[in-house]
Chains A and B, each alone.
Chain A
Amino acid sequence: MNTPATPAIGTRKIHPADTTFRLSLHAAGAVVVIVLLSILAIMFMGGKLAFDTFGLGFIWGTEWNPVTQIYGALPAITGTLVTAILALCIAWPIGFGIAFFLTETCPEKLRTPLGVAIELLAAVPSIVYGMWGFFVLAPFMSEYVQPWLTSTFIWIPPIGDSFFWFTAPPIGVGMLTAALILAVMILPFIAATTRDVLLSTPQLLKDGAYAMGATRWEALTGVVIPAVRGSLFGAVFLGLGRALGETMAVVFVIGNAIRMPDSLMAPSATIASVVANNFPEAEPGTLDLAVLLALGFILFVVSFGVLAVARFLLRQERMS
């Protein structure tokens, strides 16, 4: 039997549609990089006046006085980091608990409704959280939680002679309230990411632990968590990144006092809340505006760093 004759195979030629498609993909990729770099550049150039005036000391300057035109970023940076980390400490154990409940012990019927509820929590606009925080959470904090915290933890010695942990007038708004709101806001992200990480753990590994006579708790802590440690940290850092940049809800409940906090319950400010509050009044070309843009630049760098760490940790796990 003869095989059928094949048509002659021609030389290489240009496929116009394919080339256009390929080039347009390059362009789409370039947009991301261009936008990112130009934002960074604009923020830096706009804030250059602040860095020129105060030098790098701008970052650790503690005074913020619009009248004398002396600006230091440390109060805002402190407020940002403290609220974000506090929020993380509250949201992480709960988010992890939700994720483990959903993947391991949740009855099949509850799984979907609970998953949807978590997604809905993520869909609540941040201004709604802000109003709820101001009208519901802050009064509750001032009436019940803060007096109790003060009387319970009065024995904790202060840091230096200015920072008194839980000893402060119970006015409701402040870093603790902001951290609680942030915790609720980042909870769905942490829960959802952690759930995905746990779902991606090979069943064979869990079976191996169960077959060794491990209980659910022993299998989780002894085998599953060590296997996905990096990814779990990645989930946490994604939450941290979101908490650092969150603006609207925080403006409502943080108290907007730009000074070094003297307590975890003291009114404070975050970088994002300072910018949001002062931007409408800052005239173009003034030091006021330059300072705000410089703050934005710092926040951008910090958030970028956190996200980079998160990506690195998530990727490390995938490779192993």
Chain B
Amino acid sequence: MVAAMTTDTQQPAARTPRTTPMAAPTVTATNATAKPTRIRLEHINAFYGQKQALFDVNLDIPDNTVTAFIGASGCGKSTLLRCLNRMNDTIPSARVEGAIRMDGTDINSPEIDPVQVRTRIGMVFQKPNPFPMSIYDNIAYGPRTHKLYGSKADLDELVEKSLRRAALWDEVKDRLNKSGLGLSGGQQQRLVIARTLAVSPAVILMDEPCSALDPIATAHIEALIDQLREHTCIVIVTHSMAQAARVSQRTAFFHMGKLIESGPTDQIFTMPKLDQTQDYITGRFG
């Protein structure tokens, strides 16, 4: 365990080596108390055509908490993430069984309008995907589509508030009418997060949001994720153990479409209950 944490954070040789388990990131430490469950997954099975991608996943996702999904490529963690906001509905061959209860409602039920699910559960993708329009229009896209504002002044205020919450306002306030595609990768990803925030989602899903970003932009996004936790429930899929340890309070480990282990992040990273989890997070996975 100790070895895993130290290699992940790349300690300079000059420092004294750790002899105790690495202190959990401050983020985790301040959030020791469990929050109420926001989303409850019950017996989720997902299929792409004949191929089964998820096997009987049961998981509680607490509110005001960052939950990390980790696991090797193809383990089903992105599939599960896309189940949560019904994105699999856009793939004709995909089929999802089981109940996804958010605030008591089964949002996986065929009677539920997936379009409305997606306004309550926002999503950020692997690569920044700003729309080919101005920064202002990018943020205003959701409010305009769902008619969430009264006057032009309301919309201006909403755009500013969303950009501020995404820690992007100061960098773009003088160029709101310029194309969103002219921003750097990290700025674009924060723009996409601001766009998601503009419709006040209860949950934000992030599918490897930093995989296309450099370390500095990654640090910005991670700091932002920690701030957003105050008002939303966040689920993040990540390939980086270090990132999962830094930003999340709970971690779920997947392997071959099955949920192997889930629990508080510091427990998963320091005292996993199963050898399989330990092998994966120490890099001895094979």
- The size class of the interface chain A forms with chain B is 20 to 34
Q: Complex formed: what's the CA distance from A205 to B188 in Å?
A: 13
Indicate if the CB atoms of B116 and A207 lie closer than 8 Å. no
B residues in contact with A205, CB < 8 Å:
129, 131-132
Q: Does residue B125 face the partner (Cβ distance < 8 Å to A)?
A: yes
B142 at the interface (CB under 8 A from A): yes
- Asked whether B85 lies within 8 Å of A211 as measured between CB atoms, the reply is yes
Nearest A residue (CB) for B117? A213
Interface positions, chain B 118-155, Cβ under 8 Å from A, are 118-119, 122-123, 125-127, 129, 131-133, 141-142, 145-146
B90 touches A209 (CB 8 A): no
Q: How many residues on chain B are close to A (CB under 8 Å)? A: 27
Within 8 A of B (CB), among A161-218: 202, 204-215, 218
Interface digits, B170-214 against A, CB 8 Å rule (1 contact, 0 not)? 000000000001000000000010011001000000000000000
Residue interface bits A217-257, CB-to-B below 8 A is 1, else 0? 01000110011000000000000000000000000000000
Closest to A210 in B: B90
Inter-chain CA distance A202–B85, complex, in Å, is: 20
Chain A CB within 8 A of B115 CB: yes
The answer to the question of B92 belonging to the interface, with a C-beta cut-off of 8 Å to chain A, is yes
CA distance A206 to B92 in the complex (A): 15
A211 to B198: give the CA distance in the assembly, Å.
Answer: 13
B123 contacts A108, C-beta separation under 8 Å? no
Q: A208-B125, A212-B196, A213-B199 are in contact. List 7 more A-B contacts (CB 8 A).
A: A211-B196, A212-B122, A222-B141, A223-B132, A226-B132, A227-B131, A320-B132
A–B Cβ pairs within 8 angstroms, 30 of them: A107-B92, A108-B92, A202-B129, A204-B126, A204-B129, A205-B132, A207-B125, A207-B129, A208-B129, A208-B131, A208-B192, A209-B131, A210-B118, A211-B85, A211-B122, A211-B125, A211-B196, A212-B119, A212-B142, A212-B199, A213-B118, A213-B199, A215-B115, A218-B145, A222-B131, A222-B141, A222-B145, A226-B132, A227-B132, A320-B132
Chain B positions near chain A (C-beta within 8 angstroms):
85, 87, 90, 92, 115-119, 122-123, 125-127, 129, 131-133, 141-142, 145-146, 181, 192, 195-196, 199
Considering the complex of A and B, which 9 residue pairs feature the smallest CB-CB distances, nearest first?
Answer: A213-B119, A211-B123, A208-B129, A213-B118, A227-B132, A204-B129, A212-B142, A223-B131, A213-B115
